[in-house]
Structure 1
Amino acid sequence: MIRFETAGESHGEALIALISGLPAGIPVDFEFVNRELWRRQQGYGRGGRMKIETDKVHILSGVRHGKTIGSPIAIQIPNRDWKNWEEKLPVEAGDPAKHQAVASPRPGHADLPGALKYNFKDARYVLERASARESTSRVAAGAFAKLLLRALGIEVASHVIRVGHVELERAATWDEIVAVTEKQDVLLSCVDAETEARMKEEVEEVARTGDTVGGVFEVVVHNLPPGVGTYANWDERLDGLLAWAVMSLQAVKGVEIGRGVTAAESFGSQVHDAIHYGPETAEKPTRFTRHQNNAGGIEGGISNGEDIVVRGYLKPISTLRRPLESVRFDTREATAASYERSDLCVVPAAGVAAEAMVAFIIAQQVLEKFGGDSLDELKRNYDGYIQQIRNF
């Protein structure tokens, strides 16, 4: 099974991703990996930090001559802002007078519970690790998962369906979602220009008032065959794994698979996707079809051959330019919450991070089902299963 770990602090010297379990022989497209990091930095409403950083991977191990070699892949992503923090966050003792404390916890952030948990007298160290800057490492790891999936014809992409009170009121096609991911001038990653313009107005409103705004992103997995995941054990169900992975992202407070939310208020006849049988097509390995996809591509914890649709509900960023009430750590006196340079809206960026998490879970489950220590072995196993599905 492939897995990854991350390390690093928001204003530390670098971020780290360590990936193990990827088969040997996967071609590594460095331009693609770096563009994934670039995509995470884009979007209307991002803060000043994104003007400082130019995220690019520095691969230390596990890739030689442009391909994975089966050993752990170590990735370093330097923080350019480190030069401004070397004396504030030194590895050695340093000068306590230069330490930049977070004196009052921010409501909605990990500041207070983290300080209580680790017995810190301020929230600086909590902020540094709990920050969404950590998702940079996830995106790097997810890019490698995407490279594995692309070799099998499986793709993962995202788009934004809501910012604040403004929501996309129609379904998006796969081609529209892909077009959004390929844009060079990223605004809010919505497939509909008129809706995106109104989303932009929501961000401009919170910019005027010193507030922040959240929203909803949608991640779609395209061309995954039926049969990935299982109903046999509770902790191996594909929908549960995806929900866990996306919920682990900073500021995500809810996850939906397919029409999960509105299904709860609908009758069964309006929710379940009727099954049909049609002529064989080049696009799908199975002739069983659905005319709608309310299930979001998963039934009983198993992929059913339709696009997998995962939505993440993102709360507004908890660092406000007009801070909420808080309490000082040292005196316990009432005060305003601490303010750190921050974003107004990160919904498009969160969608990119969620793509990475979804891609990694799908890659895990694909390897769990088909196995293979090399890409060639994996493809042989995968192609044999696709033929089995076609012959069913």
Structure 2
Amino acid sequence: MLRFSTAGESHGESLVALVSGMPAGVPVEQDFIDRELWRRQKGYGRGGRMRIEKDTAHILSGVRHGKTIGSPIAMTLANNDWKNWTEILPVEEGDPTKHKAVASPRPGHADLAGSLKYDFKDARYVLERASARESAARVASGAIAKLLLRALCVGVASHVIRVGKAELSRPATWDEIVALQAKEEVMLNCVDADSEAAMKAEVDAVLRTGDTIGGVFEVVVHGLPPGVGTHANWDERMDGLLAQAVMSLQAVKAVEIGRGVTAAESLGSTVHDAIGYEGSDEAFTKFSREQNNAGGIEGGISNGEDVVVRGYLKPISTLRRPLGSVSFETREPVKAAYERSDVCVVPAAGVAAEATVALTVARLVIEKFGGDSLRELQRNFNGYCEQIRAY
């Protein structure tokens, strides 16, 4: 089974990513991993921290001569801001007078719940791990999964479809979404210039008021054959696994597969994707669909259409004009703590979601097709594709 885990704190020395279960022989490109990390750092509305960090993955194990070797892949991502925190967050006991306490919990953050859970007298240690800085390690791990999927001609990409009340008013094509990944200037990662300008105006409005703003991103998996995932057990369904993976990202409060939200208020005759038989030589099978309201998944199994997952991102909880809170020490009303933060992170969240989706899909692909090496996996994958094409 493909597994990954992360370690590290927001202002600690580094983040750590560990990926195990990756077949041997997958080409690993350092530039690709670092490009993914760069994409996560960009976007209109990011804060000062992203001007400090220059994320790059330092691979310690599991890759030799440019390819995976079947053993666990360990990576570190140095925090450039660590030099300013060495005396504030030392591993040893250190000087308690230099500790930088988070004295009042922020509404919407893990501060209070985490402090109660772990019996901390302030929220510093909760903040350090709960921070979305952790998602950089996920992006590095997801880049490895993307490289595996790319060897099978499966792509994963994201775009932003809403910021605040400004929304993309038309469907996006796969080619448009992929083209966003190559751009050297990242604004709000929207395929439509007019829609992106309206989104920027939403961010500008909250910048002026000291507030934050959320939105919706969409992740698309292109080129996945039907038959990945299963209906057989509740915890093996592809849609359930994808929903959990995307929901686990910081600030995501809802996940949608395909047309899941509007389907709830629609008639079945307008929601379900009618089946045809067109005989296309380019598709995985000769069966076809008139539309893709199901988001590429039926009964927990991929159906050959693009897999479409949307994440609904709440406004982040650190405000320049903080909400009311309570002092940990005195229990008196105060303003919530403020830490240097962002105003809008929807594009960055989309990149992090690409990583979690890629890791989930790669895990299911490995479970279905098996293989300790990429050559074996490709042989099994291609043989299955021939089987369903001849069905």
Which category describes the TM-score, using the shorter chain as reference length?
A: over 0.9
- Please tell me the residue identity of whatever aligns with 1:364: R
Deviations 1:84-121 (A, max 9, x none): 00000000000000000000000000000000000000
The residue number in structure 1 matching 2:164 is 164
Distance (Å, rounded) in 2 between the aligned partners of 1:29 and 1:385: 28
For the residues of structure 1 that align with 2:184 and 2:3, how far apart are their CA atoms? 31
C-alpha displacement at 1:181, in angstroms? 1.6
Deviations 1:197-243 (A, max 9, x none): 01000000000000000000000000000000000101000000000
Q: 1:312: Cα distance to partner? A: 0.1
Q: TM-score w.r.t. structure 2 length?
A: 1.00
Residue matched to 2:48: 48
Counterpart position of 1:96: 96
Distance in 1 separating the partners of 2:295 and 2:5: 28
Q: Deviations over 1:336-358 (max 9, x none)?
A: 00000000000000000000000
- Whichever residue aligns with residue 365 of structure 2, its letter is V
Taking the TM superposition and a 5 Å limit, the aligned residue runs for 1:213-292 are 213-282=213-282, 284-292=283-291
1:347 aligned partner: 346
Partner in structure 2 of residue 306 of structure 1: 305
Per-residue CA shift, 1:332-386, capped at 9, x if unaligned?
0100000000000000000000000000000000000000000000001001000
Q: CA RMSD in A?
A: 0.5
Query: What per-residue deviation string (whole Å, max 9, x for no partner) do you get for residues 260-295 of structure 1?
Result: 00000000000000000012322x221111121000
2:144 equivalent to 1:144? yes
Report what 2:293 is aligned to: 294
Partner SS for 2:177: helix
The CA deviation at 1:169 is 1.1
1:52 Cα offset (Å): 0.1
Matches for 1:43-192 after TM superposition, within 5 Å: 43-192=43-192
- The CA distance in 2 between the partners of 1:10 and 1:368, in whole Å, is 33
**1:372 match: secondary structure:** coil
Give, as a single letter, the amino acid of the residue that structure 2 aligns with 1:156. V
Q: Give the 3-state SS of the residue equivalent to 2:220 in structure 1.
A: strand
Residue 23 (structure 1) shift = 0.2
Shift of 1:20: 0.3
CA distance in 2, matches of 1:269, 1:281: 29
Q: What SS class does the counterpart of residue 156 from structure 1 fall into?
A: strand
State the alpha-carbon separation in 2 of the partners of residues 305 and 195 from structure 1: 30
Q: Secondary structure at the match of 2:6?
A: strand
- Displacement of 1:24 in angstroms is 0.3
Match of 1:325?
324
Q: What is the distance in 2 between the residues matched to 1:297 and 1:15?
A: 34
In the alignment, what sits opposite 1:391? 390
User: What is the distance in 1 between the residues matched to 2:253 and 2:77?
Assistant: 27
Partner SS, residue 4 of structure 2? strand
Deviations 1:148-192 (CA, angstroms, capped at 9, x unpaired) = 000000000000000001111111000110111211100000000
**Runs of 4+ in structure 1 over 4 Å off:** none
1:196 aligns with 2:196: yes
Structure 1 residue ranges without an equivalent (≥5)? none
Alpha-carbon separation, structure 2, partners of 1:183 and 1:25: 29
Q: What are the ranges of 5 or more consecutive residues in structure 2 without an aligned counterpart?
A: none
Amino acid at match of 1:200: K
Cα distance in 1, alignment partners of residues 119 and 246 from structure 2: 29
Letter in 1 for 2:160: V
Counterpart of 2:156 in 1: which secondary structure? Answer: strand
- Count of residue pairs the alignment pairs up: 391
For residues 9-24 of structure 1, the aligned pairs below 5 Å read: 9-24=9-24
SS across alignment from 1:19: strand
